[in-house]
Structure 1
Amino acid sequence: MLVNLTDVDLRMLRIFCAIVDAGGFTAAQVPLNTSLSRLSVLVRDLEVRLGYSLCKRGKSGFQLTEEGEETYAAAQELFANIGHFRQRTAMLSGRHRELLRIGTVDSLITLEHSPVPAAIAQLRAELPGVHIDLHVMRPDELEQAVLEERIQVAVGAFHHRLSGLHYQALFEEEQHLYCGSGHPFFTRLDQNLTYEELSTADYVDRGYVAENKRPCELRFASAVSAFSMEAIALLVFSDTYIGYLPTHYAASWVERGRLRSIMPQRLAYSSAFHCITRQGVDQNSTVSRFLEKLIAHASLHLP
């Protein structure tokens, strides 16, 4: 029985809700970046703390118990109240009457016509007193932060569709496969490279993207994981790995002869970017105005 609610209890409740939102333990591994065994232990510890079973897991799949369903609903109310408490105390502090908490993925600064800075500029022109907290996170971390109402709006390329979130399409980002100037592939013509050769190369994977979400038909025998565009770029610059990067992010290095794109006609792909908000939350006027400007600016540059 939970008598005193600790920070550890809140963390376990958030993880339990994320498992429910993902549809089970297996599906929750990638967005939570946690192993199946670790998730099982955390939920079991929470069940011990609560004194009852939350879910059934086995050959029949993941299923909440009646107590689990009620606990999930109660946890959603709890997290919503925490979010409302943060907003009200921020207003009562007297330092700012308007607070906007935004999150984005990294390396959008080189994206021409990016809707994020444009929307911020327009919002501040209308509301110069607005206080903006801007966080840069991985896509899976952004989804979790919006679900927990730590941020109100997030922009990124999301590889899941979690219940509890609303996804609004914004734009697409082109991705190419790159190697560094010292890599054996750098001086090879694309027509002389084969998929078999590429598949044997050491590859930088995006650690927050599931195996079945990898682009194109390439399957790499050797891969390491990185969790940001800068981390991928650093490993590619070591001239021992190949990896995907946004074309706008890599463009200056391509111009200087530091990187080259490999088979762009065959291996390029596009990432769909969305903005996400929490479902079932009444957005304040500042958030609503920012969303309107974000979506409107993105629509100006759609193909």
Structure 2
Amino acid sequence: MLGNLADIDLRMLRVFCAIVEAGGFTAAQARLNTSLSRLSVVVRDLEERLGYSVCRRGSSGFQLTDQGQELFEATQLLFADIERFRQHANRLAPNAREHLQIGSVDSLISLPCAPLPLALKHLRQRLPQVRPNLHLMRPDELEQAVLDERLHLAIGAFHHQLSGLNYQPLFDEEQNLYCAKGHPLFACHDAQLSLEHICAADYVGRGYMAENQRPHDLHFNQAINAYSMEAIATLIFSTAYLGYLPSHYAANWVAQGQLRALLPERLAYRSSFHCITRQGQEPRTALATLLDCLELAGQQLGNRQQRLSEGQGR
């Protein structure tokens, strides 16, 4: 049974909650970037510390015990209380400044319709005393951090919607399949390319995406995983792999003749980006203001893009 709570207990409880949120050990692997054996050891150690079983795993799949379900619910309340205590304690400091913990995926800075930079400008004008801290993470890490109240708000392309989170649509991002100069497919004309050729080439996948989330349900020869756009681009530039990148992120390299999109009319797809916040979190002026600023920035950028399109049309 638990005596005094130690840091190691909190770490084990966070891993346990992440497994539950993911729906099992296998799905939690990518989210936590660790091995099945390591997850099993953590849960076993937690069960030994508690003195009871928290879950069943086997051929029938992952299932919480009655005690495990109650523990999960109690742990969610514990982490929420810890975050509220931290915020309250910080506000007691002399000349305390309110901090906003904001998360985002990487490589959005070159996307014209991404509203966060403009939203932060508006936030600074409205609430100059607020200090935003920006964290770059994978989409699955962002969701978990918002659930754990380590982040107040996050922006990303999320391939499922978790209970306990609000998802507010923001914008879309085009993705294309690329190879680098020097790859065998780079010099092939589109008429010579087939899906069989493309799927036979070694492919770098996004390690945080499940197998059933493949673009266009294509069965790529997935040789390796990466966990950020920079990492995927690096592996593509090795000329050993194909991989998907945001079109805006790859545009300069395409213009320089270093990257090529493969069958873009057929293989491109669009990712929907959302802003996520935790359901039921304590209302805060700074967070509400940032949400308003994101909406305003999105409208302004949309109007700007429309004016540019109309100008080009003339």
TM-score by length of 1: 0.94
| Letter matched to residue 204 of structure 2 | V
**Is 1:208 the equivalent of 2:208?**
yes
Deviates further, 272-281 or 60-69: 60-69
Deviates further, 69-78 or 124-133: 69-78
Give the Cα–Cα distance (whole angstroms) in 2 for the partners of residues 202 and 61 of structure 1.
32
Partner of 2:285: 285
Q: What secondary structure does 2:215 align onto?
A: coil
Correspondence list, 1:223-242, <5 A: 223-242=223-242
The 3 A distance-change label for structure 1 pair 299 and 34 is farther
Q: What whole-Å deviation, never above 9, does each CA across 1:103-141 have from its counterpart, x for those lacking one?
A: 101001101031111111111101111111111111111
Q: What secondary structure does 1:31 align onto?
A: helix
Q: What whole-Å deviation, never above 9, does each CA across 1:221-273 have from its counterpart, x for those lacking one?
A: 24211111011111111222111100010111111111111100000011111
Partner of 1:178: 178
Q: What secondary structure does 2:216 align onto?
A: coil
Partner of 1:34: 34
The 8 Å contact of residues 177 and 243 in structure 1, kept in 2 or not, is answered as: yes
Q: What secondary structure does 2:230 align onto?
A: helix
Q: What whole-Å deviation, never above 9, does each CA across 1:206-230 have from its counterpart, x for those lacking one?
A: 1111111111132222421111101
Deviates further, 240-249 or 82-91: 82-91
Correspondence list, 1:143-162, <5 A: 143-162=143-162
Partner of 2:270: 270
Q: What whole-Å deviation, never above 9, does each CA across 1:130-167 have from its counterpart, x for those lacking one?
A: 11111111111111211111110000111232222222
The 8 Å contact of residues 170 and 299 in structure 1, kept in 2 or not, is answered as: no
Amino-acid identity (%): 60
| Letter matched to residue 191 of structure 2 | Q
| Letter matched to residue 250 of structure 1 | A
The 3 A distance-change label for structure 1 pair 17 and 222 is closer
The 8 Å contact of residues 56 and 64 in structure 1, kept in 2 or not, is answered as: yes
Deviates further, 58-67 or 84-93: 58-67
The 8 Å contact of residues 205 and 222 in structure 2, kept in 1 or not, is answered as: no
| Letter matched to residue 94 of structure 2 | G
Partner of 2:25: 25
Partner of 1:65: 65
Q: What whole-Å deviation, never above 9, does each CA across 1:166-214 have from its counterpart, x for those lacking one?
A: 2211111100011112222122111211111111212111111111111
Give the Cα–Cα distance (whole angstroms) in 2 for the partners of residues 35 and 125 of structure 1.
45
CA offset at residue 97 of structure 1? Answer: 2.5
Give the Cα–Cα distance (whole angstroms) in 1 for the partners of residues 295 and 223 of structure 2.
36
**Is 1:221 the equivalent of 2:230?**
no
CA offset at residue 60 of structure 1? Answer: 4.1
Give the Cα–Cα distance (whole angstroms) in 2 for the partners of residues 61 and 234 of structure 1.
37
Q: CA RMSD in A?
A: 1.9
Give the Cα–Cα distance (whole angstroms) in 2 for the partners of residues 108 and 210 of structure 1.
22
Q: What whole-Å deviation, never above 9, does each CA across 1:68-99 have from its counterpart, x for those lacking one?
A: 22211211111011111221233233354321
The 3 A distance-change label for structure 1 pair 55 and 135 is same
| Letter matched to residue 32 of structure 1 | L
The 3 A distance-change label for structure 1 pair 160 and 41 is farther
> When the two structures are aligned, how many residues end up with a matched partner?
303
Give the Cα–Cα distance (whole angstroms) in 2 for the partners of residues 230 and 95 of structure 1.
39
Give the Cα–Cα distance (whole angstroms) in 1 for the partners of residues 288 and 253 of structure 2.
38
| Letter matched to residue 188 of structure 2 | R
Partner of 2:195: 195
The 8 Å contact of residues 96 and 131 in structure 1, kept in 2 or not, is answered as: no
Partner of 1:85: 85
Q: What secondary structure does 1:216 align onto?
A: helix
Q: What secondary structure does 1:250 align onto?
A: helix
